[in-house]
Amino acid sequence: MNTHNEDDYLDRYEEETARRSAREARRRAMSRAKKRQAYLRRFGPMIAGAVCVIAVIAVSLTVIRSKVSATERGEGYTDENVTADQGILDEETADNGADGGESDADEKEPDDTAADDDGQSVDSEFGPYAEDYSAEREIFFEGDEVTGFEDASAPSEETVFITYALLIDAEDGRVISSRGGDARIYPASMTKILTILVAAERVSDLDDPVMIDISITDYAYSHDLSAVGFALGEHVTVRDLMYGTILPSGADAAIALAEYVAGSEDLFVDMMNDKLEELGLSDTAHFTNCVGLYDDDHYCTMSDMAMILKAAVENDLARQILNAHKYTTSHTPEHPEGIEISNWFLRKIEDKDTHGEVMCAKTGFVNESGSCAASYEISSSGGHYICVTVDAWSAWRCIYDHVAMYDAYVE
C-alpha cells in the first residue's frame, strides 16, 4: 500500500469512527429520554398526588390558623373577611411595586409595557373567547374569488414602503388597496398559518403528549430556523405545539406537529396541498414544507395567502391560536415553569392607531421575500379586513406598513 492510499484509508477510518460515535451519542440520548419517560409514567401520578395532598393540608392549616387567631382577638372574622383583607394586601403590594421599582415583566421586557397584562390563558379546549369564534364564518364572503383588483387604489408611497401590499374587505372579497397585490410570492413562515389550519382540522386531544426527538431538534438547528426551545426528550402537549408553531414561529413545534398528525412532514405537506385544492387555490399555490423554508416550488400569490388566513380565522381552534398574544408551555422536568412565548406582531401593533383591533397575525422572513406578514382586523365600526404585505426591510417596517394600510383605508 502506497502512502497516498494509506492516508486515504486512515481518513476514511477516522470519518467512519466519528459517524459511529455520533450515532452512539444519539442512541444514548434517546435511551436516557425513554428512561425518563418510563419513570414519569410510573411515578408521575404518585408524585402529583402527593403534591396535591401536601398543598391541601397547607391551605387547610393556614385557614385554621387564621380563624383561631381571629377568634382569640374576638373579631369574629369570616372567610369573606380574610379574602377581603388579602385583596387589600394584594392592592398594596401592587402599588408598592408601581412606586418602588420595576416589576418582573418590566425587567424582562422594558420596551414593551403596553402588552404586559394581555397574556391569554387557556380556560377550555378553545380558550377564553370560544363563544365569539363562529361569527366570522357567517360574516366572511364565501369561496376564494377576490375581486376588484382593477378598481383598487394603490397605497401611498409616502406611508407604505413595502414592495407588495394587499388589503381585502373580508365581508365581500373586494380588494380595497393593492400594490403588486396578486404577484407570486415565497410565503416564508406565513406558511405556518396553513400548517395549524390543517392540524386543527385533525387533532382531537390537545393534551395528548408528544416527545421531542432528535430529528425534530436537529431539523431546526441544521436549517438555522427559529424554535420554541423544547429540549431533546421533553414531553409537551399538542396544544404546546400549536401555539409554538405560531407565536415564536417555532420550526421544532411545526415539525413535531406535522409528524404527530401525519407520521412525517412529507405526508403532512400532502395534506396541506390537498387543503389548498379544497380552498380552490391549487392553480396558483403549492407548498413543499410546513415551516416556510425557501424552495422554488414553495409559493402562492398574495391573494392566496389572504384566503389561507381567511380559512384559518374561520376555524375555531386556529383562530384562537392566531389571536393569542402570549402563551406558556406545559411545565415539564426540562422546563419546570414552562416556556413563555409571544406573538410580537400582535403585541407591538396593539397600541398603534389602526381604527380597530388586529385580531390575528403571522409573520415570516426569508431572503427572497424580506419581512412579510398577514393579519386580520376588526374595525371600530365593525368591518372585517385582511392585509398581506411582503418584502419589508425589517420586522418593524412590516408592522408599520400594516398600520399605514389600516389607517389609510379602514373606517
Q: How far apart are CA 284 and CA 293, in angstroms?
A: 18
Verify that 70 and 135 share a domain, yes or no. no
Does some domain include residue 125?
no
In a domain, 155, yes or no: yes
Radius of gyration of the chain (CA): 26
Task: Please report the pLDDT score of residue 224 as a whole number.
Answer: 87
pTM above 0.75, yes or no: no
Task: Give the mean pLDDT per block of 10 residues along the chain (411 residues).
Answer: 59 67 63 60 69 68 53 38 35 34 31 38 41 68 86 88 94 94 94 97 94 91 91 96 97 96 96 97 97 96 97 93 95 96 95 94 95 96 96 94 95 81
Q: Which domain holds residue 50?
A: 46-74
Domain assignment of residue 117, yes or no: no
* Cα separation, 24 vs 214, whole angstroms: 13
pLDDT of residue 356: 94
Looking at the structure, tell me whether residues 246 and 383 fall in a common domain.
Answer: yes
Q: Specify the 3-state DSSP secondary structure of 181.
A: coil
> Both 66 and 188 in a single domain?
no
What local confidence, expressed as pLDDT, does residue 7 receive? 62
Where do the H-state alpha helices sit in 74-109?
79-100, 104-108
pLDDT at residue number 66: 53
Handedness of CA 150, 153, 156, 161 (dihedral sign): negative
Total tally of structural domains belonging to the chain: 2
- Residue 353 inside a domain? The answer is yes
70/136 same-domain check: no
Whether residue 186 is found in the same domain as residue 57: no
Alpha helices in 236-301 (DSSP H): 238-246, 251-262, 265-278
Together in a domain, 282 and 347: yes
Q: What is the dihedral of CA 256, 261, 262, 265, to 10 degrees?
A: -30
Q: Which three cell numbers stand for residue 96?
A: 408598592
Q: Cα separations (Å) of 50 from 35, 45, 61, 271, 386?
A: 22, 9, 17, 44, 50
Residue 75: predicted pLDDT? 39
In 294-403, beta strands by DSSP E: 300-301, 326-328, 340-342, 356-366, 370-379, 384-392
Residues 172 and 64 in one domain: no
69 and 134 in a single domain? The answer is no
Select from 171, 229, 203, 162 the least CA-distant residue to 388.
Answer: 162
C-alpha cell at 54: 401536601
Cell numbers describing residue 383: 368591518
pLDDT at 157: 87
For 90, counting Cβ atoms within 10 Å of its Cβ (0-12 exposed, 13-18 middle, 19+ buried), the class is exposed
- Domain of 399: which CATH number? 3.40.710.10
Collect all residues with Cβ–Cβ distance below 8 Å to 286 and sequence separation of at least 6: 273, 276, 297, 298, 299, 300
The answer as to whether 92 is a domain residue is no
Examine the domain organization and report whether 58 and 140 are in the same domain.
Answer: no
Quote the cell numbers at residue 120.
391569554
For residue 115, the model assigns a pLDDT of 37
pLDDT given for residue 151 in this prediction = 84
Structural domain contains residue 93: no
Is 105 a domain residue? no
Please check whether residues 161 and 307 belong to one and the same domain.
yes
Q: Residues 6 or more apart from 106 whose CB is under 8 A from it?
A: 113, 116
DSSP state of 130: G
In a domain, 202, yes or no: yes
What are the phi and psi torsion angles at 159 (to 5°)?
Answer: -120, -30
Strands (E), 67-183: 164-169, 174-179
Using CA atoms of 400, 406, 116, 190 in order, give the dihedral in degrees to the nearest 10.
-70
Query: Is 162 in the same domain as 61?
Result: no
Judge if 210 and 64 occupy the same domain: no
For the chain, how are helix, strand and coil distributed in percent, rounded to 5? 50, 15, 35
N residues, the chain: 411
